[in-house]
Chain A
Amino acid sequence: QVQLQESGPGLVKPSEALSLTCTVSGGSINTYYWHWIRQAPGKGLEWIGYISDSVSPNYNPSLKSRVTISVDRSRNQFSLNMKTVTAADTAIYFCAGSRGRFQLIDYWGQGTLVVVSS
């Protein structure tokens, strides 16, 4: 059973970069599509982007200029980097996985809260 675990700073200063890592266990990082999804406090879910083996990353156009998703196959991890954050980026960030590009997002990490504040 695939399990995901997010890690990274819980507090980021405005204008700085947010960096999170998701560690994948119970499955190969090469097999799935790996997503980042966020949820602002008390709000709905927003898809950020995905990465997958041999496929270019795909980002939400609303965030594309600030976001990079990368993968470290040796560590079975994938990462999110979001630059120039503001208070509007305060959210719970989930890493997640799907078996294909147009398939159900079936695997979710528990989520990690990132607060943007000075």
Chain B
Amino acid sequence: DIQMTQSPSSLSASVGDRVTITCRASQAISNYLAWFQQKPGKAPKSLIYAASILKDGVPSRFSGSGSGTDFTLTISSLQPEDFATYYCQQYKSYPLTFGGGTKVEIK
């Protein structure tokens, strides 16, 4: 199985802050990497796929980068609706695996 390691596991930030979350795969996954946002009581919502492609309707303050084993999700200016938990997920091989999540909280 490919292990996905996210860091940090949680962070506190203020509205307007730039936030960066990292995700590392235990083996190379090319760009088969997605980022999801999950709010309490809701299903995950996809934000980015193929490591850097923004899904339609996702605000441009979200961006993704990376290839191989190291990936980054950046929120350029944190907004109130961005406080949530973020997960990375690889879809290069099965079983599909997710990172442990990063909870973004209000400072």
Which residues of chain A have a CB within 8 Å of any CB of chain B?
35, 44-47, 58, 60-62, 94, 96, 98, 102-106, 108-111
Contacts and interface: CB of A to CB of B under 8 A. Distances in A.
Interface string B18-44: 000000000000001010000000111
Contacts of B99: 44
17 contacts: A35-B96, A44-B98, A45-B89, A45-B98, A47-B95, A60-B95, A62-B95, A102-B91, A104-B46, A104-B49, A105-B46, A105-B89, A105-B96, A108-B44, A108-B45, A109-B43, A111-B43
B97 interface: yes
B44 A45 contact: yes
B43 A110 contact: yes
Interface of B: 1, 32, 34, 42-46, 49-50, 87, 89, 91-92, 94-101
Interface of B is mostly: loop
B87 to A, nearest CB: 6
Closest 8 pairs between A and B when the two form their complex, measured CB to CB: A108-B43, A104-B49, A47-B96, A45-B98, A60-B95, A44-B100, A44-B101, A104-B34
A86 B2 CA distance: 26
A35 B97 CA distance: 13
Contacts of B92: 102
Contact of A105 (B91, B95, B97): B91
A47 B44 CA distance: 13
A60 B96 CA distance: 8
Among B1, B49, B91, the most chain A Cβ lie within 10 Å of the Cβ of B91
Nearest to B95: A60
B26 to A, nearest CB: 16
Contacts of B49: 103-104
A43 B96 CA distance: 16
A38 B72 CA distance: 24
